[in-house]
Amino acid sequence: MNEIIFVTHNKGKIAAANEQMKDVNFKVFEYDLEEPRSDDVKYISEYKVKEAYKLVNKPCVSMDSGFWIDAINGFPRAFVNFSLETIGIDGILKLMEGKQNRNCKFTECFSYYDGKELRQFMGKHPGKLSEKVLGNDTKQKWSDLWYIFIPEGSEKTLAQMTDEERKNRKRINSINSMEEFAKWYKNNQ
């Protein structure tokens, strides 16, 4: 199987890739790719994977995620990092004070590019927001949103779950873009 390069600096994404893409021959190239300003995770992921290809000149994968909160018109959308750097999870919880609708979701796009062909795999993970910050730090953490995101079908935030609970949780209406890519890649290489 051909080697592909996962260009990211996010330790949580690297840990997830090691777990979810066991059948894919990939290496990590730690680099902080520039992100265009957009609330379209598919566009951002495509941009990043093509930039990654220019860096390493080998087949690459890249991933971008967004976070949508129903009660505040989808905020922060694909501007997760900016939102966390400015208002943080405490600011997000402040915006949610008094809101009954706590529904939210992660969306993600995992992109593959080999210099000619672009393939994109969409994922989604519905859930709800906790009322307060809950849980512990973990090496699987992608962002601080793990302290306030409760996956659909669970009563715990991702940060409250053990590694085993996260791995074996019942995924209701959830699609994992890395797993979708790994299936496609295994069948097409």
- Summarize pLDDT for 59-80 with one digit per residue, the tens: 999 999 999 999 999 999 999 9
Could you read off the pLDDT of 124-138 as tens digits, one per residue? 999 999 999 999 887
Report the number of distinct structural domains present in the chain: 1
CA distance 24 to 183: 9
- Residue 19, by phi and psi: left (phi above 0), alpha (psi -120 to 50) or beta? alpha
Six token digits for residue 2: 């051909």
Quote the crossing angle between the two packed helices 11-20 and 177-188, to the nearest 10°: 50
pLDDT at 1: 53
Q: Is the confidence at residue 58, as pLDDT, over 90?
A: yes
Q: Work out the percent of the chain whose per-residue pLDDT is above 70.
A: 99
The whole domain housing 161 covers 4-188
CA distance 70 to 152: 14
Catalytic residue among 32, 64, 114, 144: 64
**What confidence category does residue 171 fall into, taking pLDDT thresholds of 50, 70 and 90?**
confident
163 an active-site residue? no
Q: Is the confidence at residue 168, as pLDDT, over 70?
A: yes
CATH code of the domain containing 54: 3.90.950.10
